[in-house]
Structure 1
Amino acid sequence: MSSFSSIGAVISLPVSHKATIWFVRIWAQFHRLICRFVLGHKIVVDGEMPDIPVLYVFKHEGAFETIEQPGLFRHPAVFAKEQLFNIPVWGQAAHFYGLIPVDRDGGGKAMRAMLNAAKAALAKGRPLVLFAEGTRIPHGEAPPLRSGFAGIYRLLGVPVIPVAVNSGIAYPPRRWVKWPGTITYKIGETIPAGLPREEAEDRVWRAINALNPPEALLAGKASA
């Protein structure tokens, strides 16, 4: 189904960009059905995720929440590693869809391109989605946010909505085996633009780790 949706997204682009978005959304919805009826996942959303031009910061525990994005929002602009755009077919579909490449080694030029793409997406009313930990984190761990979050937050000047997710319980990272269980999205309080870096980072970090056990927060703060 993933390959079908990627190929369909590429083929449909010359016909209609809306068709590209539709194929990607179907992919996400099919994944949700598989999770529910095959893997035995119950998915709970605690709070509201409005489809508006703000910066969403998600906890990142597995592939689950990345695949879910086109189902959670109509046309999200997700920040994704540059290397993913090199995957045959999928990378083309991602580019056409409007994901935002993140090239951590690209210097100032890459940063400007990323910010310009993010601002263009906001201007079209699209929500931005950032996994500020930079990689998939096993459930129960709470590492500091990557430094890139602070720059994006400051330069874009938009509110942040943090989202905790405990997908690693049932959908562990880098493992083929999945387990039945409840996966919860917990939406935190909206964080306004313009806060000092330390305050913004602390509030986002605490909110996206709200579903972790308390000892994980203490360990994460100690390693910060």
Structure 2
Amino acid sequence: MGSKLIFLRSVIFNLLFLIISAIVGLIFLPCIISKSLTTNVSHKWAIITIYLLNKICKIEIDIDKTELKKYNNKQVLFAIRHESVLETILFLAYFPNIKYVVKKELLYVPFYGLFVWRSGHILINRKARSKTIFFMLRKIKLCLSKKESVVLFPHGTRVKPNTNIDIKSGIYAIYKHLNIPIVPVYINSGYVWDRKGLIKRPGKVRITLFDTIKRGHGKKEFLKILNIKLNKYI
């Protein structure tokens, strides 16, 4: 596919994405009175977004649906390699009640911020460090009590494709103090979804869900295992 056609498809998708997001935000704004309604709207919005991405930009999501179904009725923490905005949408489509650990700045995005807040996602201040860890532990524990799974990006920021960057050590506190299975997830979305968000290239996004990390590892060994999984194909 030529670069001009890729650009055109990207522009069409971006415009539709913004228009649909704005319409959903306006029409379903009253839904924020109910957490369950807000969560359901977000779930449907994510499904529509992935559908449009496939039909317009020719981006295919390659994931083992059987493997995914294993976690439908389980509470786990998905530790995901974060290369693009796509990761913040994908698991909303797969699991209606899943909660993301995200930066609190997202609250200030019109409409989107309201839905993020009302859906019960975990909003953190990345500058607070130790306070953030304790806050995150408390919130994830609350999610577990409600039978909700959680998504966390251990790198703490977006990672460029084909790069190996050590994850942040904060996730070890979750592993150590909370009895929640941690599932490493490798995603190579950066090859198709431009880091700046404008260009979407046709191709296949590969999602690999690894086995949960066994209990009993020390900090150094745990971080080593997770680093290997999240940089599996590099």
TM-score w.r.t. the length of structure 2 is 0.83
Note the C-alpha offset of 1:87. 2.4
1:156 counterpart letter in structure 2: L
Deviations 1:128-160 (A, max 9, x none): 110111111111012000122122222223221
- Contact conserved, 1:6 with 1:24, CA < 8 A, in 2? no
2:192 to 170, 180, 189: 170
Equivalent residue, structure 2, for 1:219: none
Note the C-alpha offset of 1:168. 0.8
- Paired residues in the alignment total 211
2:226 counterpart letter in structure 1: V
Equivalent residue, structure 1, for 2:23: 4
Deviating runs (4+, > 6 A) in structure 1?
none
Task: Report 1:38-187 matches (<5 A).
Answer: 38-46=56-64, 48-49=67-68, 50-51=71-72, 52-187=74-209
Which whole-Å CA distance do the structure 2 matches of 1:56 and 1:7 have between them?
Answer: 31
Which whole-Å CA distance do the structure 2 matches of 1:174 and 1:134 have between them?
Answer: 17
Percent identical among aligned pairs is: 26
1:29 counterpart letter in structure 2: I
1:148 counterpart letter in structure 2: G
Q: Secondary structure at the match of 2:57?
A: coil
| Contiguous gaps of at least 5 residues in structure 2 | 1-19
Most deviating of 159-168 and 3-12: 3-12
Task: Report 1:190-201 matches (<5 A).
Answer: 190-201=212-223
Deviations 1:160-211 (A, max 9, x none): 101101111111211411110011101112112342111211111111222x
TM-score w.r.t. the length of structure 1 is 0.87
Note the C-alpha offset of 1:107. 4.9
Q: Secondary structure at the match of 1:13?
A: helix
2:45 to 3, 17, 27: 27
Which whole-Å CA distance do the structure 2 matches of 1:6 and 1:106 have between them?
Answer: 31
1:63 counterpart letter in structure 2: V
Which whole-Å CA distance do the structure 1 matches of 2:78 and 2:229 have between them?
Answer: 12
| Contiguous gaps of at least 5 residues in structure 1 | 214-224
RMSD: 1.8
